[in-house]
């Protein structure tokens, strides 16, 4: 019973981590068809922002939930204005540009902060389930991931901005004819995607190794999750995260961590062979 509870917690934690890792990417890729190879670096910038503002004396919750998304969101807007907006519709060029951007950000952070950063410990401590111990922070991570999903859903589904943004993504010319400025919507959407990534980076900071190249460990999983999720941003991310988080954690616990990673990638390959359009290409069609 204790074991079942702790495994369930690990699975939820694995799913929550994948949701956090990929939601920002899903917004940018899913809505704008921009392949952002600097996504891992957005996460890294979020983590660095949390680490440095916390070490400077800021409350850790304010740092990760407010400052990190604001900072990375602002960087995202600057990136969109400076680079991405010239490349809409040119997928390969965008990939090249964002890949270059990711190398630039890594180089910049390494130059400024060096390879060593003082991390922040996870707050809140731990609790026991029978013989097992787990951290309260893993529950916080799950809650934040869930809250983030709900918030993005509410914004896209029930606000005027969400409606306008979805309309612009579907048909920018028509939106433009109706008096909406697509470039502004693109800018805002990219900024929000970056901000979500920044928040995710901040939330992951206390349980990660903080190094300039940390994004590389995340980006493959984020892309696999988003691509396997398919066209629907939220339903797709949630479905793919659930599937891969479950498989990865169960395989890791039941066999070895190596096989846990292998199982995740094999299931992604099989899934994309069976459903080339991703999970939401077949199921939950037309959902957000």
Partner 1 sequence: MAISRRRFLANTAVSSTALLASPAIIRAALGAEEPIKVGSLHDLAGPLGATGQPMVDSLILAVDELNAAGGLLGRPVQLVNYDTQSTIQLYSQYAQELALKDKVAVVQGGITSASREAIRPVFDRFKTLYFYNTLYEGGVCDRDIFCTGTTPAQTVEKLVPYAMKKWGKKAYIIAADYNYGQITSKWMTKYCQENGGSILSTDFFPLDVTNFGSTISKIQAAKPDLVLSALVGGNHTAFYRQWTAAGLKKEIGIASTTFGLVNEPETLDAEESEGVLGAYGYFEELTTPASTAYVAKLHSKFKDIPYISELAACTYEGFYLWVEAVKKAGSVDRAKVTEALETGMSFDGPSGKVTIDHQTHHATRNAFLAEVKNKKWSVLETYEQQPPQDTAAVCNLITNPNDNKQYVVDVRGH
Minimum gap (Å) between residue 258 Cβ and partner 1: 5
Q: Report H helices in 27-171.
A: 32, 39-55, 60-62, 68-82, 91-113, 136-158, 160-170
Total residues contacting partner 1 (rule CB under 8 A)? Answer: 53
Minimum gap (Å) between residue 200 Cβ and partner 1: 13
Of 109-117, 157-165, 192-200, 280-288, the window that binds partner 1 (rule: CB under 8 A) is 109-117
3-class SS of residue 72? helix
3-class SS of residue 288? coil
Q: Which phi-psi region, left, alpha or beta, contains residue 223 (left: φ > 0; alpha: ψ -120 to 50)?
A: alpha
Q: Which of 189, 198, 182, 200 minimizes the C-alpha distance to 162?
A: 189
Q: What is the largest CA-CA distance in the chain?
A: 64
Interface mask toward partner 1 for 174-213; x: CB under 8 A: ------------------------------x-xxxxxxxx
Other CB atoms within a 10 A radius of the CB of residue 52 amount to 19
**Judged by CB under 8 A, does residue 257 bind partner 1?**
yes
Q: Which of 65, 63, 66, 62 minimizes the C-alpha distance to 49?
A: 63
Contact in structure between 224 and 265 (CB atoms under 8 Å): yes
Element of type H or E holding 129: strand 126-129
**Judged by CB under 8 A, does residue 253 bind partner 1?**
yes
Minimum gap (Å) between residue 179 Cβ and partner 1: 46
> To 10 degrees, the CA torsion angle through 282, 31, 233, 162?
-120
**Judged by CB under 8 A, does residue 126 bind partner 1?**
yes
**Judged by CB under 8 A, does residue 7 bind partner 1?**
yes
**Judged by CB under 8 A, does residue 110 bind partner 1?**
yes
Minimum gap (Å) between residue 138 Cβ and partner 1: 7
Considering only 70, 91, 100, 118, the residue that binds partner 1 (CB under 8 A) is 118
Comparing CB distances to partner 1, the nearer of 155 and 220 is 220
Would you tell me which residues interact with partner 1 (CB under 8 A)?
3, 6-7, 9-10, 13-14, 17, 107, 110, 114-122, 125-128, 131-135, 137-138, 204, 206-214, 216-218, 220, 248-249, 252-253, 256-258, 260-261
């Amino acid at each position: 019973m204790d074991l079942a509870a702790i495994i369930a917690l690990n699975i939820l934690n694995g799913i929550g981590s994948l949701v956090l890792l990929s939601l920002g990417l899903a917004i940018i890729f899913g809505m704008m068809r921009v392949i952002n190879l600097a996504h891992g670096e957005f996460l890294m910038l979020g983590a660095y922002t949390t680490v440095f503002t916390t070490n400077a004396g800021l409350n850790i919750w304010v740092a990760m939930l407010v400052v990190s998304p604001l900072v990375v969101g602002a960087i995202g807007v600057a990136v969109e204005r400076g680079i991405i907006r010239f490349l809409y519709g040119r997928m390969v060029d965008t990939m090249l540009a964002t890949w270059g951007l990711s190398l630039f950000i890594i180089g910049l952070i390494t130059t400024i902060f060096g390879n060593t950063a003082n991390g922040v410990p996870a707050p809140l401590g731990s609790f026991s389930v029978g013989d097992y111990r787990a951290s309260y922070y893993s529950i916080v991570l799950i809650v934040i991931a869930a809250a983030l999903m709900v918030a993005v859903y509410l914004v896209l589904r029930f606000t005027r901005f969400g409606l306008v943004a979805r309309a612009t993504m579907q048909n920018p010319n028509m939106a433009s004819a109706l008096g909406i400025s697509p470039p502004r919507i693109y800018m805002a959407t990219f900024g929000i995607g970056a901000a979500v990534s920044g928040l995710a980076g901040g939330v992951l900071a206390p349980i990660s190794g903080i190094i300039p190249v940390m994004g590389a460990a995340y980006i493959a999983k984020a892309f696999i999750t988003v691509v396997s999720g398919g066209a629907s941003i939220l339903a797709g991310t949630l479905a793919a995260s659930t599937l891969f988080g479950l498989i990865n954690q169960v395989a890791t616990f039941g066999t070895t961590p190596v096989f846990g990673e292998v199982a995740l990638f094999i299931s992604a390959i099989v899934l994309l062979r069976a459903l080339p359009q991703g999970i939401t290409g077949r199921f939950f069609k037309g959902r957000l």
